[in-house]
Amino acid sequence: QQQVKQSPQSLIVQKGGISIINCAYENTAFDYFPWYQQFPGKGPALLIAIRPDVSEKKEGRFTISFNKSAKQFSLHIMDSQPGDSATYFCAARIYGQNFVFGPGTRLSVLP
Amino acid sequence: EPEVTQTPSHQVTQMGQEVILRCVPISNHLYFYWYRQILGQKVEFLVSFYNNEISEKSEIFDDQFSVERPDGSNFTLKIRSTKLEDSAMYFCASSVKAPNTEAFFGQGTRLTVV
């Protein structure tokens, strides 16, 4: 119940393409869903986050789509750039408790 | 831009030795956390700390682990007797308000136990 599933494990996208990473959860008590971006040798950096009362949130080229009934959420990276190449983690949290992270997606954007 | 800083960046230690990993959270943050990431695997929660006490800990955080805020700025993770399986990246994080909202992570300490 505390798991967050994430797919795909790895993703290769051409420059300018759309990168889509999907996550799913079971526990309906989760109330906060952040996405983290991690470059090699660095800590995870908060990219964008959403709460379940909103179906979509957009910040620049990054959009989270949230489907509460399906218990799924996804990250869309528009106009993907080589600099976006990193590992992306979705996460979920019950208020007052720790984050549960997905296993990560390694994104490679080809020039 | 304020950031969470961790030292050292890499620590090599012999099995059975004690290690202390250090973190300086962002100055106005009230909640502090340690996470770890075994190479190639997901980030796992270890412990959260608020108001000078542990607020939550995971199954990983057994008696070999302890945390401390020895002064107004540092937040430390101690592993008493390291094991080979403790080898991982250890990330400190902090957040200003409600637990785990907008947590900011440090760059990590790579711990290698030999």
User: pLDDT tens, A25-65?
Assistant: 999 999 999 999 999 888 899 899 999 999 999 999 999 99
* Interface contact B107-A36, CB threshold 8 A: no
For residues B111 and B104, the model is more confident at: B111
Q: How far apart, in whole angstroms, are the C-alpha atoms of residue B87 and residue B110?
A: 8
Residue B91 has pLDDT above 90, yes or no: yes
The three-class DSSP label of residue B84 is: helix
For A63, half-sphere exposure in the C-beta direction (CA atoms, 13 angstrom radius) is: 13
Considering CB atoms only, which of A49, A95, A101 is closest to B98?
A95
- Which percentage of chain A shows pLDDT scores above 70? 99
Chain A nearest C-alpha distance from B43 (Å):
6
- Which percentage of chain A shows pLDDT scores above 90? 80
Query: With an 8 Å Cβ cutoff, is A94 touching chain B?
Result: no
Average pLDDT, chain A: 93
Q: How far apart, in whole angstroms, are the C-alpha atoms of residue B6 and residue B74?
A: 10
Residues of chain B in contact with residue A100, where contact means CB-CB under 8 angstroms, are: 45
Residue B100 has pLDDT above 60, yes or no: no
Going by C-alpha positions, the residue among A104, A102, A96, A105 that lies closest to residue A32 is A96
**Interval A62-75: pLDDT, tens:** 999 999 999 999 99
**Interval B1-54: pLDDT, tens:** 778 999 999 999 999 999 999 999 998 898 999 999 998 888 999 999 998 999
For residues A99 and B7, the model is more confident at: B7
The three-class DSSP label of residue B85 is: helix
* Interface contact A89-B44, CB threshold 8 A: no
Residue B67 main-chain phi, psi, to 5 deg: -125, 155
Q: How far apart, in whole angstroms, are the C-alpha atoms of residue A109 and residue B54?
A: 41
- Averaged pLDDT, A78-85: 97
* Interface contact B43-A98, CB threshold 8 A: no
Q: How far apart, in whole angstroms, are the C-alpha atoms of residue B95 and residue B76?
A: 16
Q: How far apart, in whole angstroms, are the C-alpha atoms of residue B65 and residue B46?
A: 9
* Interface contact A43-B91, CB threshold 8 A: yes
Q: Is the dihedral of CA B78, B44, B46, A46 positive or negative?
A: positive
Q: Average the pLDDT over each of A92-101, B53-62, B66-75 and give the range with the smallest value.
A: A92-101
**Contact predicate A29/A94, CB 8 Å:** yes
Average pLDDT, chain B: 91
Residue A84 main-chain phi, psi, to 5 deg: -80, -10
The three-class DSSP label of residue A15 is: coil
**Contact predicate A6/B42, CB 8 Å:** no
* Cis omega (within 30 of 0) for bond into A8: yes
Residues of chain B in contact with residue A98, where contact means CB-CB under 8 angstroms, are: 33, 45, 48, 56, 58, 99-100
* Interface contact A99-B101, CB threshold 8 A: no
- Averaged pLDDT, B88-114: 87
* pLDDT for position B9: 94
| Alpha-carbon dihedral angle through residues B42, B78, B1, A58, given to the nearest 10 degrees | 20
